[in-house]
Each structure stands twice: as C-alpha cells, then as structure tokens.
Chains A and B, each alone.
Chain A
Amino acid sequence: MIYFEKVSKIYAQDAVALDNVSFTVSPGELVSIVGHSGAGKTTILKMILAEEKPSSGNVFYESLDIHTLDRKELIRLRRRIGVIFQDFRLLPNKTAYENITFAMEAAGRSDEEISSDAPHVLDLVGLSDKLWNFPHELSGGEKQRVAIARAIINQPEVLIADEPTGNLDPVNIHEVTQILKKVNDLGTTVILTTHNKEVVGALGKRVITLEGGRIVRDDKSGKYAL
C-alpha cells in the first residue's frame, strides 16, 4: 500500500534525516516507527503526506508516486489519509464538533452525513458530552481524542499518528492506544511514531526501528529495542 524505495532526505551535508530507507506497509497493518529524536521518524510521516520531498528515492501510495502528484491529486490523496499530531493541532476557534465536521465539509460530505456521522464518532472516542467545548476547554487526553475523531471521521484508508501519546498522562496513553488498536481492527492501516515502550508493547504489532536515518530493525511483532 505504501512503499518507500531507497529514500534519502539530506538537509545539509551533516544533517541527514533519512539515508537510503526502503520498506513496505501493507493494507490493514499497524506499524510503529521508533527511534531517538532526530532518527527520521517524523520525516517519514511528512513524506507520506507530501509535506517533505525526498532528496532521492520515491514514495508510493498504491501506484501513485506521491511527490509527482499535482495540487488536486494531492488534496484527494490527503482525504484518504487521517493525521494525528503530538500537539493535537485542533482549530482553536472551532468547537470539538466543528473541528470534526470541518474535515467532513472539506471532503465534500453532505449535511445529512455530517449530522449522522459526527455524533457517532464523538461517541466512539468518548466525547459525546464535550461536543460544544472549544479546544482550550478540553484536557490533553480529550484534545487528542477529538484529533483522532477528526482523523477517522472520513473513514481514511491510512491513519498516521506522529507521537500521539507524547503529551498525555498514563491513563490517556492507555485509552489512545486502545482507540488506535480499535481503528486498526476495523480495517484502517495505522502508522505511528512513538518513544513510548508501553505503547509499542501494548500494540504488539510490527515495529520499525530507526537510528541516524537508517532502518536498523524491522520486526513483525516487535518491541521497543533501543
């Protein structure tokens, strides 16, 4: 489904983010990418979203070479991918409900679909009672659950999560991990980066370990090995 082919990203001579990285993610997989800060984890995610271009090599989404897509094709591709960030990145002037419906409106969903699906997804992430709260009125865990709801509302084929538990307390880490597992169980491919051993252990799925921009391990049912 997603294929990295000899991808390197070099910002400067002594700043190599990725060095000749190749791997494949199959449909329905849950992949954790682990590594120290600066190992290249976020760069991989940014390349899937075409936020970064490789210095060499190619990134494919099915048969599409992501970095050759034009503006409209890229917008269409991004609608097939849900994204979660460590810092949540919710729209500050929209309520929890509006943050979610914005993604639906952007994808061209009808008013009827929005009013039937949005409360359902908020219920799935356990936020039915916070529909009309603004992000600054929510806790970190609640914000992340809104972000997850926003990411999955359009039933994406892939969910990308950049350090989704980085700003959360242990209770919320556990809850977010369970939600990610549930999303994957429902058939969505999940790729996440993390520093957290417990998250990797709890997921019990494939782990790619990066060091200095290179893949040093790729275990089918791995654990945090750094």
Chain B
Amino acid sequence: MVNTTDLRRIVKAGFLDFSRNVFTSLASVLIFTITLSVIAGVLLGGAALDTALRELKDKVDINVYIEEDVPESDIMNLRERIAALPGVREVSYVSREEAFFEFKQSKANDYLVLQSLEELGFNPLLAELNIKASDPSQYERIASSIEEDFGLSATGESLINKINYRDNQAAIDRLAKFISLSERVGVALSTLFIFIAVAVAFNTITLVIFTSRDEIGVMRLVGAGNEYIRGPFVVAGLFYGLIASVITVVLFYPLTKWVSVSTENFYGGIDLYTHYVSNFFEISAVVFVSGALLGVVSSALAVRRYLKL
C-alpha cells in the first residue's frame, strides 16, 4: 500500500525522470500530441461530417400533389395523418396560390415562362404536401403507405393526384445509400485512426521503458516494491499526457481557424472554429482524459513486463 510519503517520493521521482530525460520526454510528448490531435480531429471531423450529411438529408423530400378540387379541411386532415406515420419528420402544406406565387418568383427573370402563364389565364399548379423523413431510407415506406392508405377521402373521392417519389426514387435511394455509407465509413475511419494513433503512443512508451529495463532490474535488486518501481514511470506518463493535452487544445485554436477560412468557399457545413470554441470544454475534457489515461495505462502496462521477480 502506498502511503503519503511514498506518494510524494514517487511524484518527485516521476517529475525528475521527466525533466532529466529531456529528449525522451520531448519525443513522447510529441507522439502524444499527434495522438491527441487525431482524437480531437476525429471529434471535429465527426461533427463536420454529421452536419454535412444532415444538410444533405434535409435537401431530400417528396411532394404529394393534391387533386384540384379537394377542400382545404381534407388536405389538413391528410397532412395530420401523414405526419403521424412513423419515420415522418415534417409535413408542410403549400397551397395552389402559394405554389403559383413561388413558381413565378423563381421564374422572375424568365420572360417566356411568365408570358406563357399570362396567356394561360389560370393557375395550373396543384396544392402540395412537402414531406421530410427522419432518414432518407424511410421514403419508400412512407410513399407506399400514402399510396395505399390515404389515396381516398372519407366520401371515396380521390385526394392525391401524384406523388413525385417514384420520379426521384433512384436518386433518393442512391443518396440514402451514400449517406448511410458515409456514416459507416466515417465511424470506421475514425476508429482506425484512433486505434493507429493509440498504438503508436503505446509503442513509444513501451520503447521508452524498454530503455530503462536495466534500471528497473537494479531497483528490484535493491528491494524496491512494484508500486515504488512503477510509480515514477506512471507519473512521467501522466506528465506526457497532460502536457500533450495542453499543446493539443492550444494548437487547435489556430488550426481550426485556418481550416475554417480555407474551406469556407466550398464547404457550407459548420464553421469548425466556431464549433471548437463553443464546445471547447467538452473537447478539452475528452483530450485531457484521453491524454492522462493514455500516459498512465501505457506506462503501467509497459513496466509490468519488467516487474517479474
């Protein structure tokens, strides 16, 4: 059992080891900084990918075009029933007049179209219900449910003129697959990057402690207990982790700023710098806990093999 005096001696010895092995300490802190940067980068990259995919999902929708003479009360009723379907995130109603107004607005510079509409003399557009699903893979099921169950009013008249899902089905399916694949690739790559970075940090510490194996042998022979031998290495590992954490969180200020400025022209997703600053405490907590754990656990495991009596 380690008492207060032992703990004080262990911490002091760990600090002296850290400060006297300047080259080894710097190399370890550098490797730890790279590892923690990968972890912080994965966190920020994950947030960026998440936002980009969410925006992409938001661009996908299906429209249900309503027959011309259906009263608005029936449309509102239909809207409520569709909104109650599982997987439906949002249903918005666009009346014939709104649809006509929006269409004219969008073609404000197209003289030919505007002239044709004027000559036509009436509003050719239909009212529509715009449906957004919580996930693009849900559109197939939602469209089928509407076609099969909601096609007729209470009096047996046809409510729905057309659902545009079938026109866009191939594109929506492809997009749904792309989004799902992107999410999975994102998780897999993040896991792989973190695994490689952690493995490199572990191996660095293993190498550092390998160079001290004779020293550990001497400590054993002068009768030092395992805690007394392991302690200073664990403390030095903790120093590596904490110093690397400070460097990483400081480094990410200019880094995220630079990435945000460099990508703002072609990437409309989140501003990484703003995201980093607004989530600074959460990201710092992850970085510091990861750094401390990495230092302590890797050192303790690396020393263990030399503690055999």
Q: With A and B bound together, what is the CA distance between A150 and B224 in angstroms?
A: 13
Within 8 A of A (CB), among B223-237: 223-226, 228
| Residue with the greatest number of chain A CB neighbours at <10 A, chosen from B6, B217, B226, B309 | B309
- Chain A 92-125, CB within 8 Å of chain B: the 1/0 string? 1110001000110111101100000000000000
Within 8 A of A (CB), among B196-235: 214-215, 217-226, 228
A88 and chain B: residue at smallest CB distance:
B218
Q: Flag if A102 contacts B225 (CB, 8 Å).
A: no
Q: Flag if A91 contacts B218 (CB, 8 Å).
A: yes
Within 8 A of B (CB), among A54-79: 71, 74-76, 78-79
9-residue interface stretch from B14-22, B113-121, B244-252? B14-22
Q: Please give, as numbers and ranges, the residues of chain A lying within 8 Å of B20 by CB-CB distance.
A: 93
Q: Choose among B218, B220, B228, B309 the residue that contacts A105 (Cβ–Cβ < 8 A).
A: B228
Q: With A and B bound together, what is the CA distance between A138 and B228 in angstroms?
A: 26
B3 and chain A: residue at smallest CB distance:
A108
Q: Please give, as numbers and ranges, the residues of chain B lying within 8 Å of A91 by CB-CB distance.
A: 215, 218-219
State how many angstroms separate the Cβ of A61 from the closest Cβ of chain B.
14
State how many angstroms separate the Cβ of A97 from the closest Cβ of chain B.
12
State how many angstroms separate the Cβ of B60 from the closest Cβ of chain A.
62
Q: Flag if B219 contacts A78 (CB, 8 Å).
A: no
- A50 part of interface (Cβ distance < 8 Å): yes
- A197 part of interface (Cβ distance < 8 Å): no
Q: Choose among B9, B223, B226 the residue that contacts A103 (Cβ–Cβ < 8 A).
A: B223
Q: Flag if B309 contacts A106 (CB, 8 Å).
A: no
- Interface residue tally for chain B (C-beta within 8 Å): 22
Q: Flag if A50 contacts B309 (CB, 8 Å).
A: yes
Q: Flag if B223 contacts A89 (CB, 8 Å).
A: no
Q: Flag if B221 contacts A75 (CB, 8 Å).
A: no
Q: Flag if A49 contacts B228 (CB, 8 Å).
A: no
Q: With A and B bound together, what is the CA distance between A76 and B21 in angstroms?
A: 31
- B5 part of interface (Cβ distance < 8 Å): yes
- A180 part of interface (Cβ distance < 8 Å): no
Q: With A and B bound together, what is the CA distance between A80 and B204 in angstroms?
A: 36
Q: Flag if B219 contacts A102 (CB, 8 Å).
A: yes
The secondary-structure label for the interface of chain B is helix
Q: Flag if B215 contacts A79 (CB, 8 Å).
A: no
Q: With A and B bound together, what is the CA distance between A24 and B16 in angstroms?
A: 43
A110 and chain B: residue at smallest CB distance:
B5
Within 8 A of B (CB), among A135-157: 150, 154
Contact count band on A:
20 to 34
State how many angstroms separate the Cβ of B304 from the closest Cβ of chain A.
13
Q: Flag if B5 contacts A78 (CB, 8 Å).
A: no
Q: Flag if B221 contacts A49 (CB, 8 Å).
A: yes
Q: Flag if B222 contacts A103 (CB, 8 Å).
A: yes
Q: Please give, as numbers and ranges, the residues of chain B lying within 8 Å of A191 by CB-CB distance.
A: none
State how many angstroms separate the Cβ of A218 from the closest Cβ of chain B.
27
- A83 part of interface (Cβ distance < 8 Å): yes
> Given contacts A50-B309, A89-B214, is CB(A83)–CB(B221) below 8 Å?
yes
Q: Please give, as numbers and ranges, the residues of chain A lying within 8 Å of B218 by CB-CB distance.
A: 89-91
| Residue with the greatest number of chain B CB neighbours at <10 A, chosen from A89, A105, A107 | A105
> Given contacts A93-B16, A105-B228, is CB(A79)–CB(B223) below 8 Å?
yes
Q: Choose among A50, A74, A78, A110 the residue that contacts B222 (Cβ–Cβ < 8 A).
A: A78
Q: Please give, as numbers and ranges, the residues of chain A lying within 8 Å of B225 by CB-CB distance.
A: 75, 106
| Residue with the greatest number of chain B CB neighbours at <10 A, chosen from A91, A111, A154 | A91
B224 and chain A: residue at smallest CB distance:
A106
Q: Please give, as numbers and ranges, the residues of chain A lying within 8 Å of B219 by CB-CB distance.
A: 91, 102, 106
Q: With A and B bound together, what is the CA distance between A93 and B14 in angstroms?
A: 11
Q: Please give, as numbers and ranges, the residues of chain A lying within 8 Å of B215 by CB-CB distance.
A: 91-92
A91 and chain B: residue at smallest CB distance:
B215
Binding site for A on B (CB under 8 A): 5-6, 9, 13, 16-17, 20-21, 214-215, 217-226, 228, 309
Binding site for B on A (CB under 8 A): 49-51, 71, 74-76, 78-79, 83, 89-94, 98, 102-103, 105-108, 110-111, 150, 154
Question: What would 17 A/B residue contacts be, using CB atoms closer than 8 Å?
Answer: A49-B221, A75-B223, A78-B221, A78-B222, A89-B217, A89-B218, A90-B218, A93-B16, A93-B17, A93-B21, A103-B222, A103-B223, A106-B222, A106-B224, A108-B6, A111-B5, A154-B223
Can you add 18 more A-B contacts, CB < 8 Å, to A75-B309, A106-B225, A150-B222?
Answer: A71-B226, A76-B223, A78-B221, A78-B222, A79-B223, A91-B219, A92-B215, A93-B16, A93-B21, A94-B16, A98-B16, A102-B219, A102-B222, A103-B222, A105-B228, A106-B219, A106-B223, A154-B223
